[in-house]
Structure 1
Amino acid sequence: MAGVLYVWAIGAGQIGNAYYSAAAKSMSTSFTNFLFGSFDPAGVVTVDKPPMALWPQAVAVWIFGFHGWAVLLPQVIEGVAAVFLLHRTVRLWADEKVALLAALILALTPITVAINRDNNPDTLLVLLLVAAACAFTRSVRAEESRTRTKWLLWCAFFIGCGFLTKMLQAWIVVPAFALAYLVGVSAPVKRRILDLLAAAAVLVASSFWWVALHAWWPGFKPYIGGSTDGSAWDLIIGYNGLGRVFGGSGNRGGGSGQQPEMMFYGPNGVETGPGAMFGGQAGPARMFDAAVGGQISWLLPLSLLVLAAVAVAGVLRRRAGIPGNAPERAGWFMWGGWLLVAAAVFSFARGIFHPYYTTMLAPAIAAISAAGLMMFWRARSRVRFLLPLSVAITAAWAFAVVSRDTAWHGWTRWAVLGIAVVAIIGLLAGLRRAGLVAALVAVLLTPAVWSAATAARATGNGVMPAAGPMMPLGGDPPPGAQPNGRQNRPQIGMMPGMGGNRGELTEEQRRILNYAKENSGGAEITLAVSGPAQAAAPYIMGSDEVVIGMGGFSGSDNAPSVGQLQEWVSSGKLKFVLSPGERGGPRGGGRDDEGRQEWIKQHCSEVDPSAYGGSAETLLECHA
C-alpha cells in the first residue's frame, strides 16, 4: 500500500523541489560536488542542508539520467523502507497485530504520503530515525551486555546520519532515547552511563565528520549555503539550528522579508500575524491549526490519551509494587518522548517552520496509537471505556478538521461520525471483534482518503509538499469569506520562481542561454544568475551548460564574492550575468547581494534584448 501511494504517477512531469533537483543533477557531475552537496555544476555554493539526503538522488540521476522519476524514486524506496522497518521495530516491542497496525497508520499518514512523493530531506530523516528506534529496541531487549552496547552504538550512528540529513532536527529525539535507556535496562547504573557516553561519542563522530571534512578540505570547496561565513558549523548553529527555534531578525534561521509567509483566508479575508511563517502561529495549538492539523494531527489526540493512560497505569503499578517489563517500559519512554519533545519543539519554534516537518512525528504517533488501541481493546472491564472514548475523540477531531474545508472530501466527516457511532455501540454491547474493526475504520478513514487523494492528484508543490486542500497564493481566491465556504484554508505565499518548474527551460530561457553560450568565447561558466537559487534552477536542470546561481537559496550568501566575480571576469571564466531582479523578478537581499549588485552595475552592461529575442529578464555582459 505504501509503495502504491508513494510511487503513483511520480513520472507525470513533476520534478519535486527544483532547488534540490538541480543540486542532484549538479552533484552527479563531479566527486567534490557530490561530497559537499553543490547546488551548481561549478561547485560555487552548496544547498542549505547537509548532503546525505541528496546522495541517493544524485546516484539515481547519474545512473538513469536527469528525470523527475529518477529524482523521486529514492524517496519512494526510503518511504517504503521506513514502513517496513517500523513494522519490524514495533513487532519487537509489542506484537504482530500492533506492528501491522502501526505500519498501516504510518503508510496512511497524509503528510508522509505527500513528503515521500517529493525530494525534501525529511523522507530519509524519518527512515534513519526509525532505524535508530529499531536498533534501540534491539539494545534494550538484548540479554548480553556486549550485544546491548553494540545496538545502542548503532542507534547513535543512525541518529548521526540523520544529523547529516537535516542537522539538529535529528537530535530532537536524543533526550527520549537516553532517558528510555536509563529506565529500560536492568544493567548497573554505572554500565548504563558508560554505554550512553560511548553512544554520545559515536553520535558526535557520525554527525560531525562531514563538517570537519569540509573545514579541512585541502582543495577548492563550495561555500556552505545558508551560512554567514561559508562554514558548515555556522549553518548548524545559525540558519539550521538555533535560528529555527528562536527566530529573530538577527538570526538567518528566523527568516526575513525574503522568506514566504503562510497566510490564511478567513471570514474577514487574508489573515496573517507575527510568527505566521509557513506553519501558522507558534504556540501549543500549532499541531492542530489550519496549516498543520490536516497533515499530522488526526491521531494526535488519541496518542496523547494513550500516553496519559500508560503513565497512570505505570504509577499505579509502581505503587502496588508490581514489577514491570523493562523493554516494554523503554519503548513507551522512547516513542512517547520522541512524540512529546518533537511536537513541543515544532509547536513553539519561532523561526522557519514548514508543516511537512511534522512527518517526523508520524512513526511515534503510529507506534503509540497502534499499541494504545490494542491495549484498550484487550483491557479489563473497568477500563474498557477507553476504546470507545478514543474512537469518539478521534472521530470528533476528524469532523472538525474536515469541516475547515468541506469542498475537500467533506463527505468523510459524516461517514466517520456514522461509523464511530456503530463502533461505540458495538464495543459497549460486547461485540468486541466487530467493534474493533469498526473502530479502526472510523479512526483511519479520513487520513486514508486524504492520503489516497494526495497520491491520485499526481502533482504537488515541490517546495511546500502538503496533503489536502492547499494551493499557492495567487490562484483563484477560495470562498473564505462565505458563511459555509473554505474558511481558514492555508495559502502559501511563494517567492517568484519557487514552484511549477518541471526541469525544462521555457523558450525565452532557452534563447538567453543559447545567446550566452554562443557569445561567451568559451567561458568556463556560461551564465551566472542573480537572485534566489530558484531562478537558476531551471537553467541547471534544463541544460548541460555550466550555470551558477549567485547567493545560494535566498540570494544573500557571499558566494560568489565580489572578488571572485572580478577574478572570473578578468580571467575570461565568466562573461554573462542574468539579472531577473532588474524587471521585477526575484531578488536576493542582504549586504553580500548588495555588494554583488553594485559590482554588476559598475562592470556589466545590458545586452540589447533584440539580440536574443527579448525576455522579461535582463541579460548583462560583463567586462573586467
Structure 2
Amino acid sequence: MKTLAPPPTPVEEDGARARRLFTGAPDDPRWARPALWAVLVLATALYAWNLSSLTGNTFYDAAVYSGTKSWKAFFFGALDAGSFITVDKPPFALWVMGLSARAFGYGTWQLALPMVAAGTGSVALLHRLVKRDFGAVAATVSALALTLTPITVAITRDTNPDPVLVLLMLLGAAALLKAVRTGRAMPLVWSGVAIGFAFNTKMMQAYVVLPAFFLVYLWAANASPGRRIRNLAAGTVALIVSSAWWMVVVDLIPASSRPYIGGSTDNTVWDLVIGYNGFGRIFGASSSAGSQGNGASFGGEAGLYRMFNEIMGGQISWLIPFALIALAGGLVLRGRAPRTDARRAALLLWGGWFVLHYLTFALAEGTFHPYYVTAMAPGIAALAGAGGVMLHQAFRESAATGVLPRERSRGWGWVLPAAVAVSSLWAVVLLRRVSGSGTPYTVAEVVAGVAGAASVIGLLVARFTGRQRLTGVAALAAVVALLAGPAAYSASAAASSTNGTNPTAGPNTGGTGGTGGGGGGAGGQQPSGGPGTGSGRTGQAPSSGNGSDSGGGTSSSSESDGAATESGDEGRTGGAMGGGTGGATGGGTQVSSAMITYLKKNQDGATWLVAVATDQTASSIILESGEPVISMGGWSGTDDAMTLAGLKSLVKSGKLHYIVVGDSGRGSTNSEISTWVEANGTAVSDYSGLYRLDASDVT
C-alpha cells in the first residue's frame, strides 16, 4: 500500500512562500525573479541616488512642514500652520509625505522616501500586471522601460504628487483587470476607490484613464451584460464616494472655520476641481465660468506633435513609435479571440491609457509642465513589453518553416524589423538634438544606432534563412537600442540635483522648461530649529517661478514680474496680488534673511509671522523661519483670500502684526489693502515695503 506524505506544516508553507519571494513561482523561468529584483534595485537606485541633494518643490514642502505642526493644516492641505490658505491640490500626497515627516522628522529623505517607494512600487506593480497576461519576458521589458523613462526618474526625485498619482492609477488598473477576468463586482469597487484616491491626489488628471476603464470592462468582462452594468454601477458609486468625500466635507465647513481654498475663485473645492484644475488645464480657462486665456506651457506649443518636440521628446517619446506599432499589431493578432480574451482586454486597457493621456497632454492649452506626462509612461511601457513580445512571437512563426497558424501571414516577418528600425532611428534623432549635427556621435548614439542596425539585420537574416536562434539575439539588441537613450537621460537625472518645480531629465535641448535634470532648481531653507535641521534640506531660496505645478517652472530666461503667463497662472490677468520668491515679492520689495530674523524677534505672540503677496514668497519664508506666513493672493496672486475686513480682523485680534506691501507688477498688493496699510501702519525703515500694524491702528 502506498503511503501518503504528511501535509506541509505552516512553517514549511511560510518558508516556501519566503523562497518564492526570491525565486518566483514554480512555473516561472529561473531568471525571471532575479531579473525583477535587479530592475527594482535599479529603479530604487535611480530614484534615491544622492538623496540628500534633492531639493523638492518648496510649495509642497512648506505645506508638508505646516502639516507637521498642525493637524488642521494637515487635513486641509494648508500652506501655513495657521491654516489661512490651502495649496491648489487635494492633500492626499501631502498626507503621505506628512505622515513620513511626523514619523521620522522633517527633512530631505523623509519627504522623498514616500515618492521613491511609490515609484519603485509602480514598477513592481506594472511587472505583475503584464506578467499575468503576457509572461515574464514582457513583464521584465515593461518594468525596465518604466524604470528608465526619463521624466519618471526626474519627477520621482521630487516632492510633486505625481508618483503617488501614478501608483494609485496602477492599483486601479490592477483591480479593473481582475474584475474583467472574474466578472465580480468587488474588484471593480476597489478600482473605483483607487481612482478616487488618485483624484484626491491631483483631481481631474486621475480621470483621464476612466473612459478606457469603462469600455474595457463593458466589452471584455466575464459576465452577462446585465451583470456588467450592475457591477459598473457599483464601481461608479465607489468612485464618486472616494473622490468626493474630502471635497464635500471641506465645502460643508463654514468658510470662517477653514482655510481659503487656494486656486479657486469662490473659496470652494468644487470650483477648484472644475475650473483651475479642470477645464482650465485643457482650455486655458481660469475658472469654471470658462473664461479663456493662454495658459503657461513649459512643454511647448499645444498640438499633436508636442510629445516629440525639443522639450518633450527626450522626456517621454523614445518608445512611442514602437508602442504604437505594437498596439496595432497586438490587436490585429488577437482579432479572432473571444470577447473575454484577457490579452486583448489588457492591450485595450494599456492602449487606451496611452492614447487618452497623449491626446490630453498634447492638446492641452492650459498650464502644462513636462512632468505631467509621467502618468503616460505605464501605458507606453506596458505596450512596449507586451506588444513587443507578441510581435516577436508572430515574427518567429512567420520566419519558421512549415504551416503557419491561420491568423498569421508571412507579412508579420516585416512588422517587428520595421518597428525596431523606426524606433532606433527616432532614438538617434533625439540624441542628435542634444549633441548637435556638427559634433561627434556620443556613446548613447553609437549604442542606439549600432544595436538597432544589428537587431534589424539579425531579424532580416532570420526572416530569410529561418535561423531561429538569431531572433533571440536580435530581440535583445532591440531592447538595448531602444533603451540606450532613455538610460542616458535617466542617469543624467539621477546624477543631478533636480529642478524641484519643473523637473526634467537630460541636458537642455532649448525652449522653455527644458532645463534638464540639473537645471536651476533650488530648495527651501530648513525651518530654524525645526525637526529637519541638519538633515541636508538646505539651499538657496527658490527663484521666481518656483512653486506648485499650477505655476511657473524655471525657464531658460528670467521671468518678468509682469508676465502672468510666464509665471504659469493660466491666463489669469489683472490680479490683485502677485509675487516671486527667492527673497523677492516683486515690485522691488525684498524679503531677506535679515528681515525674517527681525520679524521673528518682534512677532509678539502673533499667529502669523507676516503676510505677503503670494504662495511662492510665503513658502520660502515658512521653510526658512519655521513660522506660519499668510499668502494673501494664492499661487498667482489673484486669489481673493485676503480682504480688507479680514486683514483688519487679524490685526485687531493680535494674530498678525506685519505685512509686506509691493509696488507694482506681479509683486503688487491689492490696492485697497495696500492703501489702508500705508495709511495706518508704521513703515519699518530698514526694510522697504514692510509695515507694522497693531490693534490701535484699526479704526
**TM-score calculated relative to the size of structure 1:** 0.86
Q: Does residue 679 of structure 2 align to residue 602 of structure 1?
A: yes
- TM-superposed deviation, 1:5: 0.3
Please say if residues 240 and 253 of structure 1, whose CA atoms lie closer than 8 Å, have aligned partners that are also in contact. no
| Structure 2 match to 1:125 | 165
C-alpha deviation, 1:253, in angstroms: 8.8
Q: 1:327, CA displacement in angstroms?
A: 1.8
Find the counterpart in structure 1 of residue 649 from structure 2.
Answer: 567
Task: Please give the alpha-carbon distance, in whole angstroms, between the structure 1 residues aligned to 2:144 and 2:292.
Answer: 36
Aligned-pair CA distance for 1:345 = 1.0
Shift in Å, 1:66: 2.4
Q: Deviations over 1:311-358 (max 9, x none)?
A: 33344x3xxxx6465222211111111111111111111111111100
Residue in structure 1 matched with residue 84 of structure 2 by the alignment: 44
**Of the candidates 39, 44, 57, which is equivalent to residue 97 of structure 2?**
57
**Counterpart selection for 1:364 from 373, 379, 384:** 379
Query: Of the candidates 621, 625, 629, which is equivalent to residue 539 of structure 1?
Result: 621
Question: Would you say 1:222 and 2:298 are equivalent positions?
Answer: no
Task: For residues 414-463 of structure 1, give each alpha carbon's deviation from its aligned partner in whole angstroms, at most 9, with x where no partner exists.
Answer: 33111111111112222111111111100111101110111011x01111
Contact kept, 8 Å, 2:488 with 2:506, in 1: the verdict is no
Q: What residue in structure 1 maps to residue 120 of structure 2?
A: 80
In structure 1, the partner of 2:109 is: 69
Give secondary structure in 2 for the equivalent of 1:577.
strand
Equivalence for 2:209: 173
Q: 2:689 aligns with which of 602, 618, 621?
A: 618
What's the counterpart of residue 30 of structure 2? Answer: none
Following superposition, the deviation at residue 594 of structure 1 comes to 4.0
Q: Structure 1, residues 6-54: CA drift from partner, whole Å, max 9, x if none?
A: 0001212x32111000010011111111111000111000000000011
Deviations 1:579-607 (A, max 9, x none): 3x33x795267xxx444334433333421
1:116 and 2:187 equivalent? no
1:233 is aligned to: 270
Residue 523 of structure 1: aligned partner: 606
Name 1:389's counterpart in structure 2: 418
Structure 1, unpaired ranges of 5+: 257-273, 479-488, 502-506
C-alpha separation in 2, matches of 1:427 and 1:435: 6
302, 305, 319: which is aligned to 2:322? Answer: 302
* TM-aligned CA distance change 1:104 to 1:125, over 3 Å: same
The residue that corresponds to 1:446 in the other structure is: 485
Paired with 1:233 and 1:548, the residues of 2 have a C-alpha distance of: 23
CA distance in 1, matches of 2:194, 2:306: 29
Q: CA deviation at 1:498?
A: 5.4
SS at match of 2:95: helix
Are 2:309 and 1:289 aligned? yes
* 1:138 has 2:158 as partner: no
Q: In 2, Cα distance between the equivalents of 1:369 and 1:543?
A: 48
CA contact (8 A) 1:132 1:154 kept: yes
- Kindly indicate whether the alpha-carbon contact (under 8 Å) linking 2:271 and 2:288 is maintained by their aligned counterparts in 1: no
Unpaired stretches in structure 2, ≥5 consecutive residues = 1-41, 399-409, 463-469, 517-553, 560-566, 568-578, 585-589
For the residue of structure 1 that corresponds to 2:667, the secondary structure is coil
| 1:327 alignment partner, one of 333, 342, 362 | 342
Q: Distance in 2 between matches of 1:193 and 1:595?
A: 56
Secondary structure, in 3 states, of the residue corresponding to 1:53?
helix
Mapped partners of 2:281, 2:511: distance in 1: 24
Cα distance change on mapping 1:245 and 1:400 into 2, 3 Å: same
Specify whether residues 476 and 32 from structure 1 end up closer, same or farther in structure 2 by C-alpha distance, changes over 3 A only. closer
Percent of matched pairs sharing the same residue = 40
Question: Which residue does the alignment assign to 1:421?
Answer: 453
Displacement, 1:109? 0.3
Corresponding position of 2:233: 197
Q: How far, CA to CA, are the matches of 1:500 and 1:103 in structure 2?
A: 42
- 1:373 maps to which of 370, 376, 388: 388
CA contact (8 A) 1:60 1:71 kept: yes
Which whole-Å CA distance do the structure 2 matches of 1:172 and 1:186 have between them?
A: 24
3-state DSSP of counterpart to 2:69: coil
Distance 1:410 1:565, change over 3 A: farther
Q: Which moved more, 1:324-333 or 1:203-212?
A: 324-333
For the pair shown, the structure with the greater C-alpha radius of gyration is 2
User: Taking structure 1 as reference, are residues 205 and 434 closer, same or farther at Cα in structure 2, changes over 3 Å only?
Assistant: same
Aligned-residue CA RMSD in angstroms?
Answer: 2.8
Which of 332, 341, 355 matches 1:340? 355
Q: Distance in 2 between matches of 1:95 and 1:441?
A: 20
- Structure 1 counterpart of 2:297, one-letter code: M
Helix, strand or coil at the partner of 1:362: helix
Q: CA deviation at 1:208?
A: 0.3
Q: Residues 114 and 454 of structure 1 are in contact (CA less than 8 Å); yes or no, is this contact kept in structure 2?
A: yes
User: Secondary structure at 1:620's aligned position in 2?
Assistant: strand
Q: Larger relative contact order (C-alpha < 8 A, sep ≥ 6)?
A: 1
Distance 2:46 2:228 in 1: 42
8 Å CA contact retained: 1:290, 1:490: no
The residue aligned with 1:587 is: 667
For 1:50, give the aligned amino acid: P
| Distance in structure 2 (CA, Å) of the matches to 1:344 and 1:473 | 21
Give distance in 2, aligned partners of 1:191 and 1:213.
Answer: 33
- Match for residue 502 of structure 2 among 457, 461, 464: 464
Could you list the per-position Cα deviations for residues 264-287 of structure 1 after superposition, in whole angstroms to 9, with x for gaps in the alignment? xxxxxxxxxx66721211111111
User: Which residue of 404, 409, 432 corresponds with 1:403?
Assistant: 432
Assess if the C-alpha contact under 8 Å between 1:20 and 1:120 holds in 2: yes
Q: 1:225 to 1:69 in 2, by over 3 A?
A: same
The answer as to whether partners of 2:148 and 2:487 remain within 8 angstroms in 1 is yes
Residues 1:239 and 1:254: Cα distance change in structure 2 (over 3 Å): farther
**Aligned 8 A contact 1:32 1:43 in 2:** yes
CA distance 1:285–1:253, shift in 2 (3 Å): farther
CA contact (8 A) 1:471 1:491 kept: no
1:262 matched to which residue of 2? none
Aligned length: 569
How far residue 520 of structure 1 moved from its aligned partner, in angstroms, is 3.6
After superposition, the Cα gap between the structure-2 partners of 1:107 and 1:439, relative to the gap in structure 1 and judged at 3 Å, is: same
The one-character-per-residue Cα deviations of 1:499-558 (angstroms, maximum 9, x if unpaired) are 799xxxxx973321222233343222221122x211111211122323222211122212
